[in-house]
Amino acid sequence: MTALLDRSTARAEATLGERLRATRKLSLDLAAPLSDADATIQPFPDASPAKWHLAHTTWFFETFILRDHVPGYRLFDERWPFLFNSYYDGEGARHARPKRGMLSRPSLDEVRAYRAHVDEALDGALSGLPPAALDLIELGINHEQQHQELFLTDILATFAENPLEPPYDELSPAACFATEPLSFHAGREGIVEIGATEDGFAFDAERPRHRIFLAGHEIANRRVTNGEWRDFIADGGYATPSLWLSDGWAWLQQEGIGAPLYWRADGTEFTLGGRREIDWAAPVTHVSFYEADAFARWSGARLPTEAEWEDFAASADPMVGNQLDQAGAVVPRPGGGVFGDVWEWTASAFLPHPGFAPAEGAVGEYNGKFMSGQMVLKGASCATPRGHSRASYRNFFPPASRWQFTGLRLARDA
Ligand SMILES: [Fe+2]
């Protein structure tokens, strides 16, 4: 049996309780290298403090499982839902998102105590929960995995603000130093199906599975590399308005954008492992949709649509690739496949699939209300917990966002 099969089987056989405990532990492990001050800083309004991620994921379980499904459960602190509700209007008023970094109290240790309190209550309640609550535990696990990725990208953004450029942790050496030659392969033409089936967990936005028409197209065998991005810069990519969408050109001018987010002028980049030489063979990352779109135009290509990407990835194993297995520093690496290293921008807006219905109850606010002004990203990144993503997965961010591990793969009409 291959290591790959071992991993897939292990995941299928792990009970809900085991996966819950493993997920909760990984979040604590991710916080282990941080001081209270590290965990309190909010580098910009869209990013959240590490401490807030730890508490908010706990609030999710406390609110939607313990409060709603466990008679007699008492909140750890009645004032804290106001602090740690993210965006659920159904749950009432909350602390302003841009001010999350002002929460010097509760301390990191108090948040750890909150986690222990909720974990103990979940452990005690698990065997007696109704099926609807077990589904919410599954959602809570997947929700916490999303925040584990945000935890890493937000702490990278936090440390990038510090002139001392502290490393979060040590990066292991690269195992591969080469890039495959770029080639394009024909995608399927005609009516195909995309979206999640009704089997197993998927977020509401991935359903229903439905038919869609693909015109003739080709898709690249690999992601765009840092070396290719260097060529784009050298060729005046950031100074040629005809390559850019109007909104993208205005954004670039206003923000003074001229390279991926963490690149420095001396050929180095800032990573979770601190400052290092740019790995030219690795997939480019920390680029916005606008940059990805302009690069594709410069290449004589375009970004794939969500449906083209999903059909292309349908036969790939989402468990394989450079993804998050344990706490520590991560970085995109050369030589990866379809899933892992970087999320891939698509040309598709984040809109409901035909027949989409939001989940019932307060968690119906999870995805549906964000279907405006955001682009779909597919795949997984080096910071995505392994097992979290799949071909139908729909990550989404506004087109100017670039603090996530975002990159691209080219496509073109055929
Ligand atoms: Fe959340």
Hunting for tokens 């949709």 — which residue is that? 289
85 Cα to the center of ligand 1, angstroms: 8
* Sequence letter at residue 148: Q
296 Cα to the center of ligand 1, angstroms: 32
147 Cα to the center of ligand 1, angstroms: 7
238 Cα to the center of ligand 1, angstroms: 34
Tell me the two tokens of residue 236.
């005046």
50 Cα to the center of ligand 1, angstroms: 13
300 Cα to the center of ligand 1, angstroms: 38
76 Cα to the center of ligand 1, angstroms: 19
144 Cα to the center of ligand 1, angstroms: 7
pLDDT of residue 7: 46
What whole-number distance in Å separates Cα of residue 404 and Cα of residue 273? Answer: 16
What whole-number distance in Å separates Cα of residue 277 and Cα of residue 266? Answer: 9
229 Cα to the center of ligand 1, angstroms: 33
142 Cα to the center of ligand 1, angstroms: 10
pLDDT of residue 2: 36
pLDDT of residue 177: 76
312 Cα to the center of ligand 1, angstroms: 30
Axis crossing angle, helix 226-234 with helix 289-298, rounded to the nearest 10 = 70
146 Cα to the center of ligand 1, angstroms: 8
**Is 393 within 8 Å of 338 (Cβ atoms)?**
no
342 Cα to the center of ligand 1, angstroms: 21
86 Cα to the center of ligand 1, angstroms: 6
What whole-number distance in Å separates Cα of residue 54 and Cα of residue 155? Answer: 13
69 Cα to the center of ligand 1, angstroms: 20
What whole-number distance in Å separates Cα of residue 408 and Cα of residue 388? Answer: 20
| SS3 annotation, the chain | CCHHHHHHHHHHHCCHHHHHHHHHHHHHHHHCCCCCCCCCCCCCCCCCCHHHHHHHHHHHHHHHHHHHHCCCCCCCCCCHHHHHCCCCHHHCCCCCHHHHHHCCCCCHHHHHHHHHHHHHHHHHHHHHCCHHHHHHHHHHHHHHHHHHHHHHHHHHHHHHCCCCCCCCCCCCCCCCCCCCCCCEEECCCEEEEECCCCCCCCCHHHCCCEEEEECCEEEEEEECEHHHHHHHHHCCHHHCHHHCCHHHHHHHHHHCCCCCCCECCCCEEEECCEEEECCCCCECCCCCHHHHHHHHHHCCCECCCHHHHHHHHCCCCCCCCCCECCCCCCCCCCCCCCCCCCEEEEEEECCCCCCCCCCCCHHHHCCHHHCCCCEEEEECCCCCECCCCCCCCCEEECCCCCCCCEECEEEEEC
Axis crossing angle, helix 16-31 with helix 108-125, rounded to the nearest 10 = 170
Per-residue pLDDT tens digits of the chain, which is 414 residues long: 334 444 444 444 579 999 999 999 999 999 999 999 999 999 999 999 999 999 999 999 999 999 999 999 999 999 999 999 988 888 889 999 999 999 999 999 999 999 999 999 999 999 999 999 999 999 999 999 999 999 999 999 999 999 999 999 999 887 777 889 999 999 999 999 999 999 999 999 999 999 999 999 999 999 999 999 999 999 999 999 999 999 999 999 999 999 999 999 999 999 999 999 999 999 999 999 999 999 999 999 999 999 999 999 999 999 999 999 999 999 999 988 999 999 999 999 999 999 999 888 777 888 888 999 999 999 999 999 999 999 999 999 999 999 999 999 999 999
This prediction has a pTM of: 0.95
